[in-house]
Structure 1
Amino acid sequence: MDEYMMSLHNHFPENINQLWAHHVVDECVRNGITAFCISPGSRSTPLTVAAARHPGTDVRMLYDERGAAFQALGYARATGKAAVLICSSGTAAANYFPAVIEAHQERLPMLILSADRPPELRDSGANQTIDQVKMFGDYVRFFQDIPPPTESIALNWLLSTMNYGLSRAHDPHNAGPVHFNFMFREPLAPSVQPVSGAYLQAIPASRWKTEKPYTQHFFSPAIPGQEVLAPLVGLKEGFLLAGRLECRSERRAVEELAARLNWPLIADITSGLRLKPLPQLLSHADLLLLRKDFREMLLQKPLVHIGGQFLSKRLLQVIQEHSGPFWHISPRVNRIDAALNHSHELHADIPATLHYWMSNALPGDEALTRHCLEINHRVAETVASFCASAEQTDEILVARTVARHNKNALYLASSMAVRDMDMMSPPYAHAPEWVAANRGASGIDGTLASAIGYSRGLQQPVTLVIGDLAFLHDLNSLSQLKEHRPPLTIVLINNHSGAIFNFLPIAEHKEWFNPYFNTPHSYDFKSSAAQFGLLYQSVSDPRELEKVFRERNLEAHTLIEVQIGAEYNVARHRELYQRIRDLD
């Protein structure tokens, strides 16, 4: 056998199923996609074996497909790159759906490789067979049903199709999930059924002399023309509103723009700027909006929204009343305009656009920023003095304690955890730039797995702040920590209920509120920590909270369970809101 044929046989394993699977995995690696989240199953054997033995992959075996998909989601949030999900046929892939929806909403790349039965077993009553064709509907950017591997289909079709799907997953204007559904016939194991030499020789030898993808896709960032940007550059004053920002270059550009214009900056917690001590930052903007004077200022000035959506309901309510110039700058093509009042939608690269603005900007009005910062300072002092008087632990204290003493990247569960961090936390010098939450569809499912995936992507320790119901919902994802490093710190807020509903009008209707909304329970999670090998501490005293968090073991997975009275917590929030409204 000549050298060329030897190289081909080294690249093509035992049978045609394994051959195709090898090249699917290899093409992922050539595109820089190396993280694999695999759930065990028989029909997916060729893909699993190919991923396991490829030298360029990082494989995690994850029992639960739902948790695996959320780990892939967190990984994509950290890296901007897809992780590869591999599962068997039947309901396995259906468990991916919640994470697929979140990835779709947040424009996060994700690659699904599901195994399926061949055509002759579809719609036949065969075991573990469902209709998997386009099962995720419009929530994926691209779907391809891959026929059973055969020598009658050229391998370059598979390679080209894989690359097209990967490009759709990573489209900078509309990233998201992509689904390949692979039909496999027996043999599923890597038993020897040699592929013909003619089929192998159809692939150019040049492929094995490079590590580049079969097809390279390029996206060119464009800056809109001067005539488009002239009205933006001509603004003399206004408010900068930073929604979710996806990378360091976007965050840096917004920081520099705020400093250059000297405009007041309202930063969502997922922007990565909310906890930083920036000179123009209105750190308690959500609380400032309790005040009529600040709301009126915001309504009277131009607004420039940069990036993704906002968490603050009060900010969204004020935006609905705004009728002046309102720009939105984002590379994404999806609409983020719930108030339906944007005057300008600029689909463009954020750093490039903001740098152009900075180079042509007019001097800002310092009076507006100075006045806003004065109000923010008074509100910040009010929050600090209010917290000093706490007799019990509440969720305000949890948010502020984590903010002061955390240097890890942050992952924040939906419900009150993310809201209190956004509202109550002071900025601090060692704040992490990596702050994330699942706010695309704002569900509580998969939060723990998402945080683990986020840590995997960043290769950094992560602190997760999560409520008791969200923790219960994803409890089995604690099993993912067995093979995971760096360490995860979990701050679990246990108010023994779905306490966020205490803030909603349904709480006034006692006959329905409990148990249908409040969903009370009596669980604590010490035994869960022991079961999965986590260090554990329980806190109920506000004086202990800071000490426990500050002195936690930074080298091990740790669960800090904070016991909170739900009614006391609601009363504390409402009292603080009233104090802010009453400020002179």
Structure 2
Amino acid sequence: MTIESLLTASAVLDRLVNAGAREVFFCPGSRSAPFVYAAAAVDGTDLRTHVRLDERSAAFHALGAAKATGRPAVVVTTSGTAVGNLMPAAMEADHAEVPLILLTADRPPELRGTGANQTTRQDGIFGSHVRAVVDVVIDPALDPHQITAQVHRAMEPVLAALNDDGARVPGPVHINVALREPLQPALDDAQAGDTQDSDMQDSDMQAAGRNQATTTAVWAPVPVNPSAAVPVAATDLAQTQLSQNRQFSQNGEGHRDPGTYRTVILAGDGAGEAARHLAETLGLPLMAEPSSNARCGTHAIGPYRLLLDTPLGVQIERVLLMGRPTLSRPVGALLARPHVQTAAWQPRAVAWYDEGRRRETVVRTLSEVLDFTGRPPQDWLDAWQRLGAVAQTAINQELDPHLQEHEHAVPAGAAASAREVIPVSNVIPGPVVAREVWAACRRDGSPLVAGSSNPIRDLDLCADPGPAPGRAGQDHQVTVMANRGLAGIDGTVATAAGAALATGQPMRALMGDVTFLHDAGSLTHLVHETQPDLQIVVLDDRGGGIFNTLEHGSLGEQAQWAHTVERFFGTEPAVQIPTLCAAYGVPVQAVTTVEDLHRALEQPPAGVSVVVVAASRAGLRFTNARIKQAVTRAAADLP
């Protein structure tokens, strides 16, 4: 007789592989053991397995894999608190529309509510953050064929949610599977001996005399469905509309002329190449966040967020939004201007806001887009391109001077910590680090995972959309991934590692020290398991630099608030990152000059490594203010 738990696990994995899942991240645990034995038997064929110590980290590894490939990825846990650790990744996957599969082992119904060890209410634990949830409970009286059929029927709601045809919104799903003992393949009688479940034997709580199976189930997966759906993003559908409309041209042939408007396209997170193609076809300025993956070409205006209050910026009459804007208050202010009309191109519903809760008019067809955007004035794009070029030059000139000291940017009366004199030769400003990492990715084509807080905003300021210097004229468009669903710092190392593992591409990640330390545990298995090609660049400014740029930074300059702001927001870590990396067995390099950083970024990533860049929070607000002033002066001098 086949072991029920192993056959159940095999049937579940069989269905997930057939639905397109390839990467499975396991965490150690007893109740989930049947999934281990089923998957290990076919590791490297229909799926690839990875082991991670921490469930929170494993979930973000799976999230990164799914985000990078568009295919569902799986995280497997045992029962109890292990399941709760998946919540942060589930929330991010929900808002970011990532097909993350949360596969949790559970006690059988006869143990639930009895006080059995590691038993809680797992079914429905993720609430509204999952697209579908199933509780797979198998009748122990069924034969093997009936067990497989029951599993397949039970999983239909999840498979329907994963089989995204453009009508559904992609996102996470939860499969909770009740598993009865035995949880492992049968041992020969001579090997069996006495075994004891470290949690609690099912037999302690179940009816006596239940027939325990003795024959191991063997997973023979059904042929993989070659048409297993990869989730379709709303912007993919927009791109399809563009490519299928053969009459669409810069002159709007085949469409009525709706009028002339000063329109810009705002590409938020996940907007995709459709935003760039639309801007180029319509002759409109493109304001693209780094993780929009539209930030390239001659229509993209690099430092756009500093230009929205210039004389040209205040002339904007219409904004077409694609993707989700997440980064800056100037963009939020632009979308809220009473005299500016706004629309959002969304060929299908999206997960990141509730219908009716935003101001933009939703347009779902290309014809509606053309009616909204209209035709730009003759010199509209040219004026933005000139302004963007002089602003980019002003930023580079402001950041490049050598042997300056940060003190010159700090007004008299500022807090002592902000007046600290730090030679530029000993630290590298965050925007410079972002600029150099971006340039390196353009040279060698490495995708980039951008951490939240300051690093992605530094990219938004300094990542030049134009050609970057490279060998033999190489110039790659940079693919940027970022956890902008909820914009948290959680799981960034794991997300980057999962993306690199799933794609097999050399990859870089840029993040601050707090973000890195928050997820440092994800380094645990990156060296001894399958090793991704991942270079992690850490901007080490010794604490929460993002708060220096907010209102808390102003309070921190006042004597009565300085200690409170530093303690609760600055949160300077005691740990030294190079020492920590060495403890994990991860190669690490500390750099203090731009020249050192150039050398560290010279080659594409190979294996796992960390580059720690010395930075400082002192004077950060004033550095940003100085950059804005330089851009304002350059814009004013433009004829």
TM-score by length of 2: 0.78
Residue 489 of structure 1: which of 521, 535, 538 is its match?
535
- In structure 1, how many angstroms separate the alpha carbons of the residues matched to 2:109 and 2:180? 9
Structural RMSD (CA)? 3.4
The residue aligned with 1:404 is: 439
In the superposition, relative to structure 1, how do residues 325 and 504 fare at CA in structure 2: closer, same or farther (>3 Å)?
closer
Instruction: Name the CA distance, whole Å, in 2 between partners of 1:577 and 1:25.
Output: 54
| Counterpart Cα distance in 1 of 2:62 and 2:499 | 8
Task: Select 2:626's aligned residue among 567, 575, 578.
Answer: 575
1:169 aligned partner: 162
Q: Residue 515 of structure 2 is aligned with which of 470, 475, 485? A: 470
d(CA) in 2 for partners of 1:216, 1:372:
40
Of 336, 341, 344 in structure 1, the residue corresponding to residue 361 of structure 2 is 344
Give deviations 1:231-285, integer Å, cap 9, x for gaps: 9983544111112236xxx41x3322212110111111111122x2x11111111
Q: Which residue in the other structure is 2:472 paired with? A: none
Give the Cα separation in 2 of the matches to 1:232 and 1:31. 43
1:424 to 459, 462, 474: 462
Structure 1 counterpart of 2:420: none
Q: Which of 549, 560, 565 is the matching residue for 2:616?
A: 565
For 1:207-226, what aligned pairs fall within 5 Å after superposition? 211-212=224-225
| Larger mean Cα displacement after TM superposition, 482-491 or 18-27 | 482-491
- CA separation in 2, counterparts of 1:86 and 1:144? 15
**Pairing partner for 1:146 from 132, 136, 157:** 136
1:283 aligns with 2:302: yes
Note if contact 1:243-1:310 (Cα within 8 Å) is conserved in structure 2.
Answer: yes
1: distance between equivalents of 2:112 and 2:526? 37
Gaps of 5+ in 2: 188-211, 246-251, 404-423, 468-474, 556-560
Distance 1:232 1:535 in 2: 60
- Report the equivalent of 1:10: none
Distance (whole Å) between structure 2 residues aligned to residue 555 and residue 345 of structure 1: 44
* CA separation of 1:233 and 1:494: change in aligned 2, threshold 3 A: farther
CA positional deviation for 1:491:
0.7
**8 Å Cα contact 1:499-1:566 kept in structure 2:** yes
Q: Distance in 1 between matches of 2:601 and 2:222?
A: 53
Task: Tell me by how many angstroms 1:516 deviates.
Answer: 1.2
Match of 1:70 among 40, 56, 60: 60
Which of 561, 580, 586 is equivalent to 1:528?
580
Matches within 5 A, 1:4-403: 14-54=2-42, 55-152=45-142, 155-171=148-164, 172=166, 173-191=168-186, 211-212=224-225, 234=258, 236-237=260-261, 238-245=263-270, 250-251=272-273, 253-274=274-295, 276=296, 278-289=297-308, 291-298=309-316, 301-330=317-346, 331-334=348-351, 336=353, 342-346=359-363, 348=364, 353-354=365-366, 364-391=376-403, 392=424, 393-403=428-438
Structure 2 CA distance for partners of 1:243 and 1:337, relative to 1, 3 Å: farther
Q: Which residue of 1 aligns with 2:193?
A: none
Secondary structure, aligned partner of 1:345? strand
Distance 1:216 1:71 in 2: 21
Q: Which amino acid aligns with 1:424?
A: C
Q: How far, CA to CA, are the matches of 2:183 and 2:107 in structure 1?
A: 11
Does the CA contact (< 8 Å) of 2:70 and 2:231 recur in 1?
no
User: Residue type of the partner of 1:239?
Assistant: V
Q: CA deviation at 1:141?
A: 0.9
Structure 1 residues 279, 439: CA separation in 2 closer, same or farther (over 3 Å shift)?
Answer: same
SS in 2 for 1:582: helix
Distance, in Å, in 2 between the alignment partners of 1:390 and 1:570 is 20
Counterpart residue identity of residue 383, structure 2 = H
Q: Structure 1 residues 20, 335: CA separation in 2 closer, same or farther (over 3 Å shift)?
A: closer
Counterpart-to-counterpart distance in 1, 2:311 and 2:334: 12
Match of 1:204 in 2: none
Give the Cα separation in 2 of the matches to 1:138 and 1:209: 32
The CA deviation at 1:539 is 1.3
1:213 deviation in Å? 9.6
For residues 488 and 355 of structure 1, what CA distance do their matches in structure 2 show? Answer: 43
Q: Which deviates more from structure 2 when the two are superposed, residues 145-154 or residues 18-27? A: 145-154
**Secondary structure of 2:85's aligned partner:** helix
Equivalent position SS for 1:310: coil
Tell me the alpha carbon deviations over residues 425-447 of structure 1, each in whole angstroms, 9 at most, x when there is no partner. 22243344420111111111110
**How far off is 1:370 after superposition?**
1.0
1:499-527: CA deviation from partner (whole Å, max 9, x where unpaired): 11111212213242121111123432112
Deviation at 1:309?
A: 3.1
> CA–CA distance in 1 between the matches of 2:111 and 2:576?
47
Q: Distance in 2 between matches of 1:522 and 1:500?
A: 19
Q: 1:180 to 1:106 in 2, by over 3 A?
A: same
- How many residues align? The count is 547
CA shift at 1:106, angstroms? Answer: 0.6
Task: Note the C-alpha offset of 1:337.
Answer: 8.3
| 1:231–1:494 CA distance, 2 compared to 1 (3 A) | farther
- Distance, in Å, in 2 between the alignment partners of 1:132 and 1:512 is 40
Report the residue type matching 2:497 in the other structure: I
* Pair 1:519 & 2:519 matched: no
1:194 deviation in Å?
Answer: 6.0
Q: Which runs of 5+ in 1 are unaligned?
A: 1-12, 201-206
- State the 1:28 CA deviation: 1.3
Residues 539, 24 of structure 1: alpha-carbon distance in 2 compared, 3 angstrom cutoff: same
| 1:499 to 1:559, Cα distance in 2 relative to 1, 3 A | same
CA drift at 1:69: 0.3
Amino acid aligned to 1:562: V
Offset at residue 545 of structure 1 (A): 2.6
Alpha-carbon distance between aligned partners in 2 of 1:439 and 1:232, rounded to the nearest angstrom: 37
Alpha carbons of structure 1 residues 216 and 320: separation in structure 2 relative to 1, 3 Å: closer
CA distance in 1 between counterparts of 2:258 and 2:381 reads 18
- Tell me, yes or no, if the aligned pair for 2:508 and 2:605 is still in contact at 8 Å: no
Superposed displacement of residue 31, structure 1: 1.8
CA distance in 1, matches of 2:76, 2:313: 49
Distance 1:293 1:486 in 2: 48
Mapped to 1, the partners of 2:110 and 2:589 lie a distance apart of: 56
Change (3 A) 1:170 1:564: farther
Q: Per-residue deviation at 1:92?
A: 0.6
User: 1:420: Cα distance to partner?
Assistant: 0.4
Q: Residue 6 of structure 1 aligns with which residue?
A: none
Change (3 A) 1:105 1:361: closer
Q: Quick one: which amino acid aligns to residue 186 of structure 1?
A: E
Contact preservation (8 Å) 1:167, 1:217: no
Tell me what 2:200 maps to.
Answer: none
When the two structures are superposed, what TM-score results if normalisation uses the length of structure 1? 0.85
CA contact (8 A) 1:242 1:265 kept: yes
Instruction: Find the aligned partners of 2:137 and 2:255 in 1 and give their Cα distance.
Output: 53
Distance 1:382 1:472 in 2: 34
After superposing the two structures, state which structure 1 stretch, 118-127 or 423-432, moved more.
423-432
Paired with 1:500 and 1:145, the residues of 2 have a C-alpha distance of 42
Q: CA deviation at 1:154?
A: 5.5
Structure 1 residues 51 and 518 mapped into 2: Cα distance closer, same or farther (>3 Å)?
same
